[in-house]
Amino acid sequence: MIWQDGIIEDCPVTPLRKFADDRGWLSELFRTDEAVDGHEPAMAYISETLPGVARGPHAHEEQSDLFAFFDGRFRVYLWDDRPDSPTKGVRQVFETGRDNPVTLRVPPGVVHAYRCLSDTPSLILNLPDRLYAGPKRAEPVDEIRYEELADSPFVMD
């Protein structure tokens, strides 16, 4: 498939507003009164990505992710592979992290990946709307992985 670069519908990238004082800063990551499409986190996790390492590409059938990129530097990739989306076939790529902190909501069917561009390990938060592996971790994981496909249409630069 040939991807067209652009902005993917339903994947808002929202700048994080830093409230700073002499102690440092804080930023609101999620507010129910500002939730995109009624996104309600079911859990939260933090992950560390090592320099040069990529996570993804993968997608979810039912889960939406709400990532917070606030540390280090990352290149983020999105591919709209949803059959009925007005932006099907669009690829969106941007850089984010400490100098450009954002939240990113990724709905089901949008393939996503990111690569750590920092020289040091960097952190990301995710507030997905589904529990990983379901309640008590007793269900199959909702993840379609493309990382190791030799002929994957989801290529990172």
**Is residue 64 domain-resident?**
yes
Please provide the DSSP assignment of 3-34 as one string.
PEES--TT--EEEPPPEEETTEEE-----GGG
The one-letter amino acid code at 110 reads: V
**Is residue 9 domain-resident?**
yes
The number of distinct structural domains making up the chain is: 1
Q: What pLDDT, on the 0 to 100 scale, is given for residue 50?
A: 98
Q: What pLDDT, on the 0 to 100 scale, is given for residue 150?
A: 87
Domain around 71:
4-17+42-130
86: left (phi over 0), alpha (psi -120 to 50) or beta: alpha
**Is residue 26 domain-resident?**
no
Cα dist. 116→96, 113, 120 in Å? 10, 10, 9
**pTM for this predicted structure:** 0.94
Q: Are strands 54-59 and 144-145 parallel, antiparallel or unpaired?
A: antiparallel
Q: What pLDDT, on the 0 to 100 scale, is given for residue 157?
A: 82
Q: Give the CATH number, domain containing residue 119.
A: 2.60.120.10
Contact 114, 54 (CB under 8 A): yes
- Angstrom distance (rounded) from CA 45 to CA 124: 8
3-class secondary-structure state, position 54 = strand
**Is residue 142 domain-resident?**
no
**Is residue 106 domain-resident?**
yes
Q: What pLDDT, on the 0 to 100 scale, is given for residue 28?
A: 93
Q: What pLDDT, on the 0 to 100 scale, is given for residue 79?
A: 98
Contact 57, 114 (CB under 8 A): no
Q: What pLDDT, on the 0 to 100 scale, is given for residue 26?
A: 94
Would you write out the chain's pLDDT as a tens digit for each of its 157 residues? 789 999 999 999 999 999 999 999 999 999 999 888 889 999 999 999 999 999 999 999 999 999 999 999 999 999 999 999 999 999 999 999 999 999 999 999 999 999 999 999 999 999 999 999 999 999 999 999 999 888 999 999 8
**Is residue 23 domain-resident?**
no
